Amino acid sequence: MEFLSRLPWKVVFILCLTLGLAPFKPPHIVEKLGMLVRGELSRPIDWFDLLMHGTPWVLLFLKAIVTLKKSG
């Protein structure tokens, strides 16, 4: 949790807007989440893509929770 507290918000936002959305038409994370919902994530590269493009969004979510818990 200390790592998330020290991680600057700007870095998290930049990660989300670049790696989290690239390639941009359509955002890769949206495509991979759709494949997950439809049960089409079968190849290892698809799982790796989901992990790679989803990690910035998970960091954003966790950092928000840690920040809210500290302030509350």
Q: Which residues of 47-63 are buried (b: 16+ CB within 10 A; e: fewer)?
A: eebbeebbebbebbeeb
C-alpha dist (Å) from residue 36 to 4, 13, 14, 39, 50: 27, 24, 25, 5, 9
pLDDT at position 14 is 96
Residues of the chain scoring pLDDT < 50: none
pLDDT score of 2: 85
φ and ψ of 3, to 5 deg: -60, -45
* Residue given tokens 């979510």 in the structure block: 61
In this prediction, residue 5 carries a pLDDT of 87
